[in-house]
A and B are shown apart, each in its own frame.
Chain A
Amino acid sequence: MKTRLLSLILAQLNIFFSISHSRYYYLKKRQRLWEGILIAGSIIILALTLAFGVYKLAQGFCSQAALLNQEALTLTTGILAAQFLMLILGVALVISVFYFSNDLPILIPLPLKPWEVLTSKFAVILANEYLGLLVFIAPVFVAYGMRADVNWAGYIPSAILVFLSLPVIPIAVASILAVILMRIVGFTKRKDTLTIIGGFLLVGLIIAGQLYLQTRLSAPGADEEFIMRMLARANSLVTVLGRQFPPSIFATHAVSLAGTSKGLLNLCLFVGISAFSFYLFLVLGNQFFYQSVLSGFEAPKGKSRPFVSRAESAQAHERTPILSLAIAEMKLFSRTPVYALNGFIGFLMFPVLFVVLLVMGNDPEMAKLWGSLRAMPEFHRIGSLLVAAYFFVLVAFSGIPFSPFSREGKAHIWFLKSQPVSGQEVAIGKALGAEIMVIIGAIPGLAVFQYIARLHVSSFVIGVLLGIAASYSFCVFGVLLDMARPMLEWTDPRKAFKSNLNIIFGMLIGAAILFGIGSLIVTLLKRGYSGLMAQAVSGGVVALFLAAGLKLLQLAADRLWMRIEL
């Protein structure tokens, strides 16, 4: 007989990965089976391609590190990068899964202890992370094993155990931070707003803290004598790099020294610390989880104002349907913590990284470098293209325009579908809303970038205009993509955003376009064409892209809108 915890975990996994749902629609009802096969096939091919890329990269890194007798640095680098990313992205994921799942009103009345609910949700997050790690860390382990000529009998079990324990510490730390944040937020009236701000502050603090640690730890050992001393000992740089996050040293040694007693000791240490961090999270969560969730159910009441002023405000805000739709899109996205935390994270990460670069590069040498760069006229023209590319990156990686209909879901799409608006109006409204969010989100990053780069005003303005045109055309494509295949069936709003393939397609298409245009510009510059020519060609490509997007919208939006049925 299954224990209730196991039952709960299996049910959560089933819901999260839509196992029964897919089985019912694809296998039993055979609805759009071809689409399921196509999507699964694309994901597998994409995952294998990425895994192979990571494998080749790790292999190259390992060969270079071997020359310095530091092969294990490959493992440390991979483990550190993975844990750092899981920690940063984990905050938003954990808050979404723990506090904004639609199943909480079902789970809380059940005779379950908070730690059981938390464990089941933690298992879901781990399973999600394992999928990513299979692509990004498993190939590193394989590449190291092949290069270092390991004893596979000992290596494979150790690598599997380290792999399984790898996400536990970052997710547990992110969960502990989230539990504390949500407990504090629970005492306040504006819970949604504070959750979003608090989530961003946590991510900002983690990034800043990590980079501070990195600069502080690398500074004293950066001198040549220290490096030479380290290089004289095999794999000694693992200790230096691993000081940023000590468990990564245990994880590295557990794998690299697998089959030895030292390897076993490190494995026990790593698994032990992972288990302890999980335990710590459960103790804290058991204490505060339900309190925070229940305070979240107490929806805040606003201060009621006299009706006269509201009627006046209604008059003042008479808008066109498109503008009204765009504003509603912005309000709904930015007021929903699950969407705002996950969608706006890029708006925050880039400026924080720029600021850190600014602080780190605040030495006379860097100042001299920037000075000489600014003196080159081509720098300003190329800089303007970087500004434009920044807008494009934000669109591609925020996921906002690739999910507007999916986010409506079956529950809310009835409203727009029953309103007298055409598919074109809805698509333009949604794209405009996404674009305005991207423009506002780009401001902090652009401000920091401009402070560092000090582009000529004309170049900066050209970059911004080019960026707005490029990002709007991409928003239009994104909205049409989501209109063509909206993910309307979900019970948890996070799924419409985080598990939406349209967003992944958007990222891939965006990366491919950026790579294409970037390669074109580099080729032009290498062949001696001026920066002005690069600007002109980019402008031409963006104009074509915008025209194509608007034409597609005109041709397809109404038809796609009609196809959405409830």
Chain B
Amino acid sequence: MSQHANRSLLKLESVSKTYRGSPAKAVDHLSLEVMPGEIFGFLGPNGAGKTTTIKMIVGLLAPDHGRIIVDGHDVVEDPVSAKMKIGFVPDYPNLYNRLTGIEYLNLVADIHGVSASERSNRIEGLLSMFDLTHAVGDLIQTYSHGMKQKLALTGALLHNPPLFILDEPMVGLDPRSSRLFKDLMRSHCGQGYAVFFSTHILEVAERLCDKVGIINKGKLIACGSMDELRRLSKEADESLEDIFLELTLPEEADST
């Protein structure tokens, strides 16, 4: 275990966000914590606030209220230090099409200050794992969606980040890459690091996650391990899908 053992790698304290011109809060006093070694699955229906939360964690949006702490660094107060600890891949990673794969990876490595020898080893290992070695000299515009996704993952893992944040990471990955990726998430957490990801694929979350958070209408309505979530549900052996549907059912449907 690393130096992160006793400290949360991600902590959200009563975080809120309202978009300009919108009456409702996209995220409403959201608090959660991700500990080292944990894979945290962040679930919720469309428009629940998952992507807004992730955007605030990685600095794409500023929270209106509350604090976001990444490995001891406040994302608003000390964004550069906080981002040094994060590896992020969005749902649709639009990469610079007119750079080659290796140019993109070198840019990421330069920004994160990854040393020459370390970058060389990591690039080689990750590219070979994702089967991208043959394409890394080509312009990114020649890549398929899945290849772009894998290149973005490679870039996000290049500096070995303590906190790996992914928005719908399985989108566009073929079954082999998807399996590889799940193994990677597990081994990343094995180093004492953490993974925080949003997904719609409940089977993946159920099998992979140590902890699951369910957000609906901007509010965290449930959070805990699968066993803890089952305790919240009506029946003891419910699947995550049942629990999810039960918790996120529209109010009017619930009352009928």
A316, A320, A415, most chain B CB atoms within 10 A: A415
**B contact residues around A197 at 8 Å (CB):** none
Interface contact B110-A418, CB-CB below 8 Å: no
Q: Of residues 511 to 566 in A, which have CB atoms within 8 Å of B's CB atoms? A: 562, 565-566
Contacts of A30 in B (CB 8 A): 21
Instruction: Name the B residues within 8 Å of A372 (CB-CB).
Output: none
Interface residues of A in 389-432 (CB under 8 A from B): 411-412, 414-415, 417-422
B90 and A414 within 8 A (CB):
yes
Cα separation A317 to B138 with both chains bound (whole Å)? 18
CB distance from A251 to the nearest CB of B (A): 42
Given A315-B120, A421-B111, A565-B60, check contact A310 B142 (CB 8 Å): no
A336 at the interface (CB under 8 A from B): yes
A417 to B90, CA, bound (A): 12
A414 touching B60, Cβ below 8 Å: yes
Cβ of B95 and Cβ of A311 under 8 Å apart? no
Interface residues on A, range: 35 or more
| Bound complex: CA A31 to CA B109 (Å) | 38
Which residues of B, 124-159, contact A by the 8 Å Cβ criterion?
A: 124, 127, 133-139, 141-142
Would you call B61 and A420 a contact (CB within 8 A)? Answer: no
With A302-B138, A420-B81, A421-B80 as contacts: A324 and B111 at CB distance below 8 Å: yes
Rounded to whole angstroms, the CA-CA distance of A562 and B83 in the bound complex is 13
Residue of B nearest to A310 (CB): B102
Contact indicator A314/B102 (Cβ below 8 Å) = yes
Q: Is A310 in contact with B20, judged by CB distance below 8 angstroms? A: no
Contact A318 B96 (CB under 8 A): no
A305 part of interface (Cβ distance < 8 Å)? yes
B88 within 8 A of A: yes
Q: Is there an interface contact between A417 and B116, defined as CB atoms closer than 8 Å? A: no
A565 to B58, CA, bound (A): 11
Proximity string of chain B (94-132) to chain A, C-beta cutoff 8 Å, 1 when within and 0 when not: 111011101101111111110111011001100100000
Whether B96 lies near A332 (C-beta < 8 A) is yes
Q: Which of B98, B115, B142 contacts A331 (CB 8 A)?
A: B98
Q: In the complex, what residue of chain B is closest to A320 when comparing beta carbons?
A: B110
Residues in chain B near residue A319, CB distance under 8 A: 110
Interface assignment of B62: CB less than 8 Å from any CB of chain A:
yes
Main SS at interface, chain B:
helix
CB <8 Å contact, A412 and B133:
no
Contact residues in A for B141 (Cβ distance below 8 Å) = 299
Question: Are the C-beta atoms of B123 and A328 separated by less than 8 Å?
Answer: no
Interface residues in B1-53 by Cβ distance below 8 A to A read: 20-21
Residues of B near A71 (CB, < 8 A) are: none
Does residue A29 face the partner (Cβ distance < 8 Å to B)? yes
Output the nearest chain A residue to B140 by Cβ-Cβ distance.
A299
- A316 cross-chain contacts in B, Cβ below 8 A: 116
Q: Are B98 and A335 in contact (CB under 8 A)?
A: yes
Say if the beta carbon of A368 comes within 8 Å of chain B.
no
Proximity string of chain B (74-92) to chain A, C-beta cutoff 8 Å, 1 when within and 0 when not: 0010011111101010100
CA A307 – CA B128 in complex, angstroms?
10
A62 to B123, CA, bound (A): 69
Q: Is A221 in the interface zone, CB < 8 Å from B?
A: no
The CA of A323 and the CA of B110, in the complex, are separated in Å by 9
Q: A192, A318, A415: which contacts B110 (Cβ < 8 A)?
A: A318
Q: Does B106 contact A299, Cβ atoms closer than 8 Å? A: no
Q: Does A321 contact B (CB under 8 A)?
A: yes
CA distance A197 to B250 in the complex (A): 59
Say yes or no for A53: interface residue by CB 8 A criterion. Answer: no
Q: Is the CB of B98 within 8 A of A301?
A: no
Q: Knowing A301-B138, A315-B117, A417-B60 touch, does A321 contact B106 (C-beta < 8 A)?
A: no
- Which of B111, B134, B137 counts the most A-chain CB atoms under 10 A from its CB? B111
Per the bound structure, the CA–CA distance linking A29 and B19 in Å amounts to 11
- B59 beta carbon closer than 8 Å to chain A: yes
**Is the CB–CB distance between A336 and B98 below 8 Å?**
yes
- Whether the Cβ atoms of A415 and B95 lie closer than 8 Å is yes
A-B contact pairs, 30 of them (CB 8 A): A31-B21, A299-B139, A302-B138, A302-B139, A304-B134, A304-B138, A312-B120, A314-B102, A315-B117, A318-B110, A318-B116, A319-B110, A323-B110, A325-B111, A328-B96, A331-B98, A332-B96, A412-B94, A414-B60, A414-B94, A415-B94, A417-B58, A418-B58, A420-B82, A420-B84, A420-B111, A421-B80, A562-B62, A562-B76, A562-B79
Closest 9 pairs between A and B when the two form their complex, measured CB to CB: A324-B110, A420-B83, A315-B116, A411-B94, A335-B98, A420-B84, A29-B21, A299-B142, A566-B60
List chain A positions with a Cβ less than 8 A from chain B: 29-31, 192, 299-305, 307, 310-321, 323-325, 328, 331-332, 335-336, 411-412, 414-415, 417-422, 562, 565-566
Q: 7 other contacts beyond A318-B110, A415-B95, A418-B59, with CB at 8 A cut-off?
A: A307-B136, A311-B123, A328-B96, A331-B103, A420-B111, A421-B111, A562-B79
